[in-house]
A and B are shown apart, each in its own frame.
Chain A
């Protein structure tokens, strides 16, 4: 998912925080506080507080709680709390069964999955969760009449006949999902998908109670009264998509209710970072939304309240090869090498983000418990000398002395600061380069990218599923997200083989993807990776077991326990 640096009022908060932060002088940066990960049953000294009620701030409203229509991260998070699909992610990002009774069994070519459902899984209205509920929801998601924004996106080319149904060439019943009996589901894929189990954790694949949804019609998911739940919590207060407060309570009909300690979570919306931090300091909330401004974070730097972790979102400079100068490999490489990434993350962003000499983020994709990153190389490390040499060579090859480029960035204050820094770095290190920054709103940046109307473009990407491929297939020749006229047959071949003949050979597939990454970055310098963003939020120390995830539902609340202080 494309990430928008949504901090409209950054400058405001920044100025303000300068007043307020003057007294707090945090110096050392606390590294990933990964200890807060939920599986801390061992500690004998932990005593539960009398009240297991949690107060949480979110930075936006929930646009939709219809799992088929949702396309929002917050929507996915809340759906994960009040509903449950076949599988979910545990605090360590491992796939664990939800409604499914164990992991799927596969046929020989891994295209047909048979999944047993838990007999004790129930909806909050007393109905059992059946295989038909899954078939109903999936068919609803792909039905062109529903116009689900994510249904076709997630299913086409993956679930059998999804593409054909979208194009009107097959019937809804032909979709690759069948109820063998009320407790057995059979899913047919178009080809083997190595990451299918984690893919199924997405809220789009959740079941929907057919009887309930049909009965409610257009009113379904309008507010808390028009929803039915099969997850750890149920919504007891939510006035619909414009509501700025909502409440979930423990769902006693949940099959694993005995392991849910929290009785209630009160959510409120606060869109201003400094204000959220103020509410936290005043004790009015236990968990804040993500805070990204360095000026706010500096007030909490080094305290145990600050939870910081690297999220799998990578930010990069795209270089449009339709521009003759950027068609030149040496020019591109010079640009990629000449930004001081360390200074960018330490001094400009100053929020725990790390310099990225890679494309597939750290701590995101694992094979046999090994991080993809640990077994792959690093590329395009900042090297100003080398950059200058390549730059001069490139200019010679082009037969020009100067290159002028349009740099498209976002119009938030944070983005503008970053862009100004990069412009300064590039122009200083590459004599003869002239950049014109155009700061535009997020939607317009996307439109400019779509039309390839830029020279350099600051962009980013977050994962759609837990596999390196979600970052790699963006760059195939003519790919839907390429938008920079890049193409390399060798790269295409590796991606294609990873998708097809290597799909069942995880080790070889991994290798192919790592080779492809090397071609993309080291050989071609197609993009200039800059940094991997980090998440920062404040979590009250009495809250244990708060889990964050790399994709899909962003957080899980079901393992939280509130301890006595």
Chain B
């Protein structure tokens, strides 16, 4: 197990290095300058700015410089936020996004798995159809529609919850629900399909023959085995939820990463683009590793130990 982990961490580092390098050169292909009103400046004025931020160096030199600083943990300073280190920006902004993503993930997977399970157990009844309908709606209607409707009705019309901002637990409820619609539908759909498949398998028949109760069969035998594919899709989904949603963050005025990332690209804020991308990549590779480890916990058949099977 230790050897496996070590190997995985090594691969992770290589992945990150490639992601950082590719991002760097792709980013330099975006036309335009990172400075506002740059087009109004004279050659002399432009050079003063470019020199200050080392943007007059050849791109490979800039690359080496960046990689060297990155290894030291210095991600540079943002252009759009005067003199703010990228690390400060990211650490300030990841909190709300991660909190929201985590809540949506938790809420979404619990509701989704529950819906999927009951849909499978009550296959071809109104419960099944209802849950399937909900799943289709959740997947096909974009979250900004939910967000907008929730904000308008729950907050503005009925006044039950705050309209926007990020000031306490009650402020997270509406965005969490809006953001959770997608994981709910994904979890419900996968769960239903897998449950139906598992429920039809031989070992369930065997368990039934042995006289196991309905709940024992459903929870202990069927649910556990049906969870594998769900965990596989929910892992990466968790990352994308926790790194922030542009739409939800805009509508509910949440100071998160999602909005920030998109804006940094459109204004050519190079250090922020790099920093955010690297952060996302780190989260992704870590989550993928966690998912792989979870497989082993959920299903003993998948446990890995240096090539030997237990």
Cβ-defined contact, A450 with B39, below 8 A: yes
The 8 Å CB contact of B41, one of A153, A167, A270, A441, is: A153
Cβ-defined contact, B44 with A242, below 8 A: no
Could you tell me the distance between the alpha carbons of A281 and B153 in the complex, rounded to whole angstroms? 12
Cβ-defined contact, B259 with A271, below 8 A: yes
Could you tell me the distance between the alpha carbons of A279 and B145 in the complex, rounded to whole angstroms? 17
Cβ-defined contact, B144 with A9, below 8 A: yes
Could you tell me the distance between the alpha carbons of A221 and B89 in the complex, rounded to whole angstroms? 16
- Near B by CB (< 8 A), chain A positions 236-266 give 239-242, 244-245
Cβ-defined contact, B253 with A1, below 8 A: no
The 8 Å CB contact of A2, one of B30, B39, B49, B247, is: B39
The 8 Å CB contact of A19, one of B33, B93, B149, B246, is: B149
Q: CB of B307 within 8 A of chain A?
A: no
Cβ-defined contact, B163 with A275, below 8 A: yes
The 8 Å CB contact of A480, one of B42, B247, B262, is: B42
A9 partner residues in chain B, CB cutoff 8 A: 144, 246-247, 250
Could you tell me the distance between the alpha carbons of A446 and B38 in the complex, rounded to whole angstroms? 9
A180 partner residues in chain B, CB cutoff 8 A: none
Give the size of the chain B interface in residues (CB under 8 angstroms). 55
Cβ-defined contact, B37 with A149, below 8 A: yes
Q: CB of A444 within 8 A of chain B?
A: yes
A20 partner residues in chain B, CB cutoff 8 A: 148, 152
- Near B by CB (< 8 A), chain A positions 462-487 give 480-481
**Cβ-closest chain B residue relative to A69:** B82
* CB contact under 8 A between A442 and B247, given known A147-B52, A166-B45, A480-B42: no
* CB contact under 8 A between A274 and B148, given known A282-B156, A481-B40: yes
Could you tell me the distance in whole angstroms from the C-beta of B78 to the nearest C-beta in chain A? 8
The 8 Å CB contact of A149, one of B49, B148, B152, B156, is: B49
Q: CB of A71 within 8 A of chain B?
A: yes
Could you tell me the distance in whole angstroms from the C-beta of A464 to the nearest C-beta in chain B? 8
Cβ-defined contact, B253 with A241, below 8 A: no
Q: CB of B267 within 8 A of chain A?
A: yes
The 8 Å CB contact of B35, one of A149, A221, A240, is: A149
**Cβ-closest chain A residue relative to B253:** A270
Q: CB of A218 within 8 A of chain B?
A: yes
Cβ-defined contact, A282 with B82, below 8 A: no
Could you tell me the distance between the alpha carbons of A381 and B250 in the complex, rounded to whole angstroms? 40
B162 partner residues in chain A, CB cutoff 8 A: 284
Cβ-defined contact, B155 with A282, below 8 A: yes
Could you tell me the distance in whole angstroms from the C-beta of B145 to the nearest C-beta in chain A? 6
A274 partner residues in chain B, CB cutoff 8 A: 148, 251
A-contact 0/1 string along B21-56, CB 8 Å cutoff: 000000000111101111111101100110110000
A268 partner residues in chain B, CB cutoff 8 A: 165, 253
Among the stretches A60-68, A304-312, A315-323, the one at the interface with B is A60-68
Q: CB of B276 within 8 A of chain A?
A: no
Q: CB of A394 within 8 A of chain B?
A: no
Could you tell me the distance between the alpha carbons of A61 and B39 in the complex, rounded to whole angstroms? 23
Q: CB of A405 within 8 A of chain B?
A: no
- Near A by CB (< 8 A), chain B positions 231-257 give 246-247, 250-253, 255
B36 partner residues in chain A, CB cutoff 8 A: 71-72, 149
Cβ-defined contact, B49 with A147, below 8 A: yes
**Cβ-closest chain B residue relative to A277:** B156
Could you tell me the distance in whole angstroms from the C-beta of A36 to the nearest C-beta in chain B? 24
Cβ-defined contact, A153 with B262, below 8 A: no
A244 partner residues in chain B, CB cutoff 8 A: 166, 253, 255
Cβ-defined contact, A156 with B164, below 8 A: no
A-contact 0/1 string along B6-33, CB 8 Å cutoff: 0000000000000000000000001111
Cβ-defined contact, A278 with B155, below 8 A: yes
Could you tell me the distance between the alpha carbons of A166 and B44 in the complex, rounded to whole angstroms? 7
Cβ-defined contact, A63 with B80, below 8 A: yes
Q: CB of B268 within 8 A of chain A?
A: yes
Q: CB of A43 within 8 A of chain B?
A: no
Could you tell me the distance between the alpha carbons of A535 and B148 in the complex, rounded to whole angstroms? 24
Could you tell me the distance between the alpha carbons of A399 and B82 in the complex, rounded to whole angstroms? 54
Cβ-defined contact, A278 with B149, below 8 A: no
Q: CB of A443 within 8 A of chain B?
A: yes
Could you tell me the distance between the alpha carbons of A164 and B252 in the complex, rounded to whole angstroms? 50
Q: CB of A48 within 8 A of chain B?
A: no
Could you tell me the distance between the alpha carbons of A560 and B262 in the complex, rounded to whole angstroms? 36
Q: CB of A97 within 8 A of chain B?
A: no
Q: CB of A222 within 8 A of chain B?
A: yes
**Cβ-closest chain A residue relative to B84:** A241
The 8 Å CB contact of B37, one of A2, A239, A245, A275, is: A2
B252 partner residues in chain A, CB cutoff 8 A: 275
Cβ-defined contact, B251 with A153, below 8 A: no
Cβ-defined contact, A275 with B251, below 8 A: yes
Most central of A218, A284, A449 by chain B CB within 10 Å: A284
Could you tell me the distance between the alpha carbons of A245 and B167 in the complex, rounded to whole angstroms? 11
Q: CB of B81 within 8 A of chain A?
A: yes
B31 partner residues in chain A, CB cutoff 8 A: 443-444, 447-448
A348 partner residues in chain B, CB cutoff 8 A: none
The 8 Å CB contact of A242, one of B89, B142, B247, B253, is: B89
**Cβ-closest chain A residue relative to B32:** A443
Q: CB of B62 within 8 A of chain A?
A: no
Could you tell me the distance between the alpha carbons of A278 and B157 in the complex, rounded to whole angstroms? 9
B-contact 0/1 string along A21-55, CB 8 Å cutoff: 00000000000000000000000000000000000
Could you tell me the distance between the alpha carbons of A25 and B123 in the complex, rounded to whole angstroms? 47
Q: CB of B205 within 8 A of chain A?
A: no
Q: CB of B151 within 8 A of chain A?
A: yes
B145 partner residues in chain A, CB cutoff 8 A: 15-16, 19
B52 partner residues in chain A, CB cutoff 8 A: 147
Cβ-defined contact, B253 with A271, below 8 A: yes
A-contact 0/1 string along B83-97, CB 8 Å cutoff: 110001100110000
**Cβ-closest chain B residue relative to A451:** B31
Cβ-defined contact, B250 with A167, below 8 A: no
Q: CB of B159 within 8 A of chain A?
A: yes
A19 partner residues in chain B, CB cutoff 8 A: 145, 148-149
Could you tell me the distance between the alpha carbons of A441 and B265 in the complex, rounded to whole angstroms? 10
Q: CB of A103 within 8 A of chain B?
A: no
Q: CB of B266 within 8 A of chain A?
A: yes
Could you tell me the distance in whole angstroms from the C-beta of B148 to the nearest C-beta in chain A? 4
Identify 25 residue pairs between A and B in the complex whose beta-carbon atoms are under 8 Å apart, listed by A's number: A2-B39, A9-B247, A12-B247, A16-B149, A61-B81, A71-B37, A149-B37, A153-B45, A167-B44, A240-B81, A241-B81, A241-B82, A242-B89, A244-B255, A245-B165, A268-B165, A269-B253, A275-B151, A275-B253, A278-B156, A282-B156, A284-B162, A284-B163, A444-B30, A449-B39
Instruction: For the complex of A and B, list the 4 residue pairs with the smallest distance between their C-beta atoms, beginning with the closest.
Output: A443-B32, A64-B82, A241-B81, A16-B148
Residues of B within 8 A of A (CB): 30-33, 35-42, 44-45, 48-49, 51-52, 78, 80-84, 88-89, 92-93, 142, 144-145, 148-149, 151-152, 155-156, 159, 162-166, 246-247, 250-253, 255, 259, 262, 266-268
Given contacts A2-B37, A71-B37, A144-B48, 9 further A-B contacts (CB under 8 A): A69-B82, A147-B51, A156-B42, A242-B88, A244-B166, A271-B250, A275-B151, A278-B152, A446-B32
